[in-house]
Amino acid sequence: MTDINPPGEIILSSETLQKRIAELGAQITADYADDPPLLVCVLKGAVMFLADLARAIDLPLEMDFMAVSSYGNSTKTSGVVRIVKDLDIDLAGRHVLIVEDIVDSGLTLSFLRKNLSSRNPASMKVVALLVREGRQKADEELAYIGFEIPPDFVVGYGLDVAEVYRNLPAIHSYTP
């Protein structure tokens, strides 16, 4: 295991996360009542959020997974996005809901939206659990936002540093 400091203070408790996810699920259920979306989970960070969000959406759902990387083992984005695992399901004619853990600079999300748009979905929206205040370099339209947080690095609830701390039930601040 990498020698890193334990996480800092709790930014969002498990209870706070679950309450907001239930609200997002209800909103998505209402918005997609006539045509359920295909949930596209951005691995690895969004997997916890996807699992809870999918259970909060009262519609028949399909899911697929895509892995992209712009951080590596760093706490700062490299600015270079690469696809590590692509989707298995054809997006053509589908209503796609990208499930993202955190929007920081917006570069990864911008890359994803361009890449997935080229696959001819009927519609594409984004649900982000977290948005870092004041950090977006690309102006991305987010249909659903869980929380806006300060620009600090955070871990827990799927978010990691060097693959550690994803399993924490709350979101914590992290100082390297």
Give the model confidence (pLDDT) of 6-60 as tens digits. Answer: 688 999 999 999 999 999 999 999 999 999 999 999 999 999 999 999 999 999 9
76, pLDDT greater than 70: no
Is residue 104 part of the annotated active site? The answer reads yes
Angle at 30 (CA atoms; ends 29, 31), nearest 5 degrees? 95
Out of 52, 101, 104, 160, pick the active-site residue: 104
For the cut 80, the answer to whether the pLDDT of residue 135 exceeds it is no
Surface-to-core class of residue 99, CB atoms within 10 Å of its CB (0-12 exposed, 13-18 middle, 19+ buried) = buried
Q: What is the pLDDT of residue 140?
A: 58
Q: pLDDT-derived band of residue 79, with 50, 70 and 90 as boundaries?
A: low
Strand ordering across the sheet containing 171-173: 10-12, 171-173, 154-155
pLDDT (tens digit per residue) in 53-63: 999 999 999 99
Which class for 75: exposed (0-12), middle (13-18), buried (19 or more C-beta within 10 A)? middle
> The tokens 């930014």 sit on which residue?
11
Q: What is the DSSP letter of 103?
A: E
- All domains of the chain in start order, with CATH: 15-160 (3.40.50.2020)
